[in-house]
Chain A
């Protein structure tokens, strides 16, 4: 348990650094689609809800978990969908490189 916790903290720290580095380079042009994309990725929390519901440990947990799956899935589907719609709109006036 103890070493798992330490591992998790290391992973968190590294992921934060990667996040800062990667997102610093996102053009301000795309900040709105960036936010809807990170929102969709964040909805990976659905895996936690799926395990909770699938294990069916108590009726209470299953009810909360099902609502959680609905909320997160709507973010996954809606988030990717709208991000794609936004990015399709960005066109350049210069001829695109092959």
Chain B
């Protein structure tokens, strides 16, 4: 008895230290200078907690070992993916986290350890509902990001009603189960509905909404883990889940603000929001276009250049060519900075990671609020693969679907250059008046090739 209690104290001590290390880990993420300490703290906490758990009395280890070895085998390649694949990898790992929580919850239900307590059963239901929908929802998101599934939002009439009804049935079943624990048949019903719900939830989501959706799924994954902590009475799990949940929710709020949506709109309305189709056929308005030679001449005559990257840069894999452009312009004494919109790309911070991978110093990457005041003093704003986040209609046209969304004020720069494949409207199908402004030059072509031609022009000219 005494020995058992002693082990229990050691286990709790490892959990206590791990909790502190997890909090420190996130605290150190606040700045790139300390961020890597954060990883070490997190790893140490994780090792301690797992080692402590293995001390539990009366354990058999063979299947644990199998799980740990196979999991590591899957984890290593998942940690080595290319940086452009980070959004889908992140979505996939949300799915794995949710899968773990759902499976453990299901096993606990059939072991029946919680079934005598109403609270236990309620949290258990919450755990599998959140876990189940996050699992399939994240798989769907990963599939869309990897382009295995169609990226186009799929919508149908009454979509929201169907979703709400399904969720209503799941919650009603959960309440009935809590009140009548003998109705065990309802448990697989709850899990089944949640899993289907996750799929339906992501079907209407288009690529531009992905940053918000990934953040939200991150939050759900965290909350489901916290619920699991309540079920297992594990304080470390409650803390880690709460940290992850709050992180996901904060990021969702930031993303939704950057898209001018209220938080409730994101929680309930962003899902299923039908993308507005292009209003009528675009009339043939005149645009000015330029060749790489002309673009190079304008850039080398500039003092201040701001580059605005978007998802198109990631698709074209143009970030390394952009770095060459940055290098050559900096060498000529041009001040080059990058303007990063919070929802540029497919997940929070996506552009920063791609540009950092291309060796662009992070102090050149400027957030929207900081750089917007500088556009009137900017000689050239070079937009590479970004569209809606530069659309001035968001400021001026109350009928525009993106009206009110904070944008990068590139149109205030002396010259705007936009690299774009063609005049076809962007993903959301919204026309961009920026392209018809007198100070805008359209550079038609593939982002990687076009930037490459500019670089060649700049290096050959001198």
* Chain A residues packing against B (C-beta within 8 Å): 1, 4-5, 8, 11-12, 15-16, 18-20, 22-58, 60-62, 64-94, 96-97
Among candidates B64, B228, B236, residue contacting A54 with C-beta atoms closer than 8 Å: B64
Do the beta carbons of B42 and A41 come within 8 Å of each other?
yes
25 contacts between A and B (CB under 8 A): A15-B238, A25-B27, A26-B29, A27-B31, A35-B251, A37-B25, A38-B244, A41-B244, A50-B67, A51-B53, A54-B64, A68-B67, A68-B99, A69-B63, A70-B67, A70-B71, A71-B100, A76-B46, A77-B75, A79-B93, A80-B46, A81-B75, A90-B362, A91-B359, A94-B361
Do the beta carbons of A41 and B53 come within 8 Å of each other?
no
Tell me the chain B residues, 226-282 only, with Cβ under 8 Å from chain A. Answer: 226, 228-230, 232-248, 250-251, 254
A19: chain B residues at CB < 8 Å are 26, 242-247, 250
Do the beta carbons of B356 and A91 come within 8 Å of each other?
yes
Do the beta carbons of B107 and A60 come within 8 Å of each other?
yes
Cβ-closest chain A residue relative to B242: A15
A26: chain B residues at CB < 8 Å are 26, 29-30
Query: Is B154 in the interface zone, CB < 8 Å from A?
Result: no
From residue A18, how far is it (CB to closest CB) to chain B in Å?
A: 6
**B contact patch SS:** helix
Given contacts A19-B243, A33-B349, A44-B237, contact A65 B103 (CB under 8 A): yes
From residue A53, how far is it (CB to closest CB) to chain B in Å?
A: 5
Binary contact track B36-65/A, C-beta < 8 Å → 1, others 0: 101100110110011001101011110110
B226: chain A residues at CB < 8 Å are 12
B251: chain A residues at CB < 8 Å are 31, 34-35
Do the beta carbons of A71 and B53 come within 8 Å of each other?
no
Given contacts A27-B32, A38-B222, contact A69 B106 (CB under 8 A): no
Query: Is B413 in the interface zone, CB < 8 Å from A?
Result: no
* Chain B residues packing against A (C-beta within 8 Å): 18, 22-23, 25-27, 29-33, 35-36, 38-39, 42-43, 45-46, 49-50, 53-54, 56, 58-61, 63-64, 66-68, 70-72, 74-81, 83, 86, 89-90, 93-94, 96-97, 99-101, 103-104, 106-108, 110-111, 117, 119, 214-215, 218, 221-222, 225-226, 228-230, 232-248, 250-251, 254, 340, 342, 347-350, 352-353, 356-357, 359, 361-365, 367
B361: chain A residues at CB < 8 Å are 91-94
Among candidates A30, A42, A61, residue contacting B244 with C-beta atoms closer than 8 Å: A42
Among candidates A41, A50, A83, residue contacting B243 with C-beta atoms closer than 8 Å: A41
**Other A-B pairs beyond A41-B46, A89-B359, 8, CB < 8 Å:** A15-B238, A31-B254, A55-B56, A57-B111, A66-B67, A67-B67, A68-B101, A80-B39
Do the beta carbons of A68 and B103 come within 8 Å of each other?
yes
Do the beta carbons of B32 and A93 come within 8 Å of each other?
no
A60: chain B residues at CB < 8 Å are 107, 110
Given contacts A44-B49, A45-B225, contact A74 B78 (CB under 8 A): yes
